[in-house]
Structure 1
Amino acid sequence: MFSVYKKELKSYFITPVGYIFTGVFLAVSGILFSLCTLYQVESSSVSLYFSLLFLVLAILLPLLTMKLLSDERRTKTEQLLLTSPISLFGMICGKYFAALTLYGVTLLVNSVNFSLLYVYGEPNLSIIIADIIAIFFVGAAFLAVGIFISAITESQLIAAVMTILATFGMILMSYIASAVSTEWLRVIIKWFAVYNRFTAFSNGMFDIAAIIYFISFTVIFLFLTARLYERRRWS
């Protein structure tokens, strides 16, 4: 797993993908930060910033996952993975954590922006920390969905587009659920409504239930990806 992790993390900077993701993320989030919070340090402005950043992640994170497994299929190296004695779940986790590391470090660098708020006032630190933790776990869940979709196609473009559609679909689930009259179906749809879980942090509360949800969501999609590869190994 660790060798796969190092290889994938290094590959982000051999190709332009890592630079593009980091540069665009920091630029867009910096603009949003300036517009939303720099001159208004109220908690509502901070929450607005993170809500918009939520949408940015849905568009940018597929850049990190689109090649993770689809490229293996395109270059025909997938067969080497399937016939090797390595743990498929370990391989998938290695690729996933490489993407998560790059995202996490970029988010950490971006968080330095909040030090500027102290120039203009006294921001609520608990809300900022809670929202940063929430947006990290949201990204972790989106990456897990992305690596699953990357496993079902050999086209990086298709993987990216499908992941964007899937993540935006997850964002819209809370609105879709309210329009569904069937109780059991509404419960299922609400489970995928990640935005509802994210907003639980807006008041500076560290929501353990939401953290468990995001971790569970991530593990489920990593497990599904591993099961997909297990089926290919024995087919």
Structure 2
Amino acid sequence: TNSSGDYTYQGMYDYFLYLLFAFSILIPLLTMKLLSEEKKQKTEQLLMTAPISLTGIIMAKYLAALTIFAATLGINSFNFLLLEKYGSPNTTIILSNILGLFLIGAAFIAVGVFLSSVTENQLVAAVSSIAAEIALLLIGILANKIELTFVRLTLRWFSVIDRYNPFTGGYFDIPAIIYFISFTGVFLFLTVRVYEKRRWS
């Protein structure tokens, strides 16, 4: 029935939204020591003199964290496979939600890696990452309360929830995909620049 379908969709939406906010806290715990630990243990000099490029080192650490996140997301999405067997869920909506969450997670990990690179204190890295990621999630709500159109639209442009919404309806939104990939690239680039500056300072 339609009501059953609406209930299933709403339950799915709520579940993925819960995962989104949960990951905004868990991801910083994953990234907080990726680079800050190197600085604290005075081993970052080894990174900067290693035969592999700085970009390669940063990408290796980033991909390691991304792999753990992807595995966690996969495990948390496993229950939807049971719906495939015992129910009639909308597979497109499930897959688009998973893709949306993966892209957001990839972007958040890049933010966490960057913030981990600018401090040797793991707690500072974690708290600043959580604050940044929660802000990106809630900025759309703040934007709605601002009367100045330019400021409101600018804030909404950065809103992760606004970018994620099309995925919740089963749409593989190309502009949103480009946004998250670009967002990820910018923060990884900034992380490399941090280490390049240290290498020559």
Relative to the length of structure 1, the TM-score reads: 0.78
> Cα distance, 1:100 vs. partner?
0.2
Q: State yes or no: 1:180 paired with 2:146.
A: yes
Distance 1:165 1:68 in 2: 18
- The equivalent position to 2:120 in structure 1, one of 143, 151, 154, is 154
Q: Equivalences for 1:74-153 in 2 at 5 Å?
A: 74-118=40-84, 121-153=87-119
Distance 1:173 1:97 in 2: 27
Q: Equivalences for 1:55-66 in 2 at 5 Å?
A: 55-66=21-32
Question: Structure 1 residues 120 and 183 mapped into 2: Cα distance closer, same or farther (>3 Å)?
Answer: same
3-state SS of 1:61 partner: helix
> Cα distance, 1:110 vs. partner?
2.4
Question: Aligned partner of 1:104: which letter?
Answer: A
Question: Structure 1 residues 41 and 175 mapped into 2: Cα distance closer, same or farther (>3 Å)?
Answer: closer
3-state SS of 1:180 partner: coil
> Cα distance, 1:174 vs. partner?
0.6
Question: Aligned partner of 2:62: which letter?
Answer: Y
Consecutive unaligned residues of structure 2, counting only runs of 5 or more, are 1-5
Distance 2:157 2:51 in 1: 36
Consecutive unaligned residues of structure 1, counting only runs of 5 or more, are 1-39
Question: Aligned partner of 1:152: which letter?
Answer: V
Q: State yes or no: 1:199 paired with 2:151.
A: no
Q: Percent identity?
A: 52
> Cα distance, 1:85 vs. partner?
4.1
Distance 1:191 1:88 in 2: 31
Distance 2:51 2:198 in 1: 14
1:189 aligns with 155
Distance 1:112 1:83 in 2: 42
Question: Aligned partner of 2:50: which letter?
Answer: S
Once superposed, what is the RMSD of the aligned Cα atoms?
Answer: 1.7
- CA deviation string 1:160-195 (max 9, x = no partner): 111111100111111222233444443442232111
3-state SS of 1:153 partner: coil
3-state SS of 1:204 partner: coil
Question: Structure 1 residues 232 and 187 mapped into 2: Cα distance closer, same or farther (>3 Å)?
Answer: farther
Question: Aligned partner of 2:87: which letter?
Answer: G
1:65 touches 1:150 (CA, 8 Å); kept in 2? yes
1:144 touches 1:222 (CA, 8 Å); kept in 2? yes
Question: Aligned partner of 1:208: which letter?
Answer: I
- The equivalent position to 2:137 in structure 1, one of 168, 171, 177, is 171
> Cα distance, 1:44 vs. partner?
1.6
- Considering Cα pairs closer than 8 Å and 6+ residues apart, tell me whether 1 or 2 has the greater RCO: 2
> Cα distance, 1:118 vs. partner?
4.2
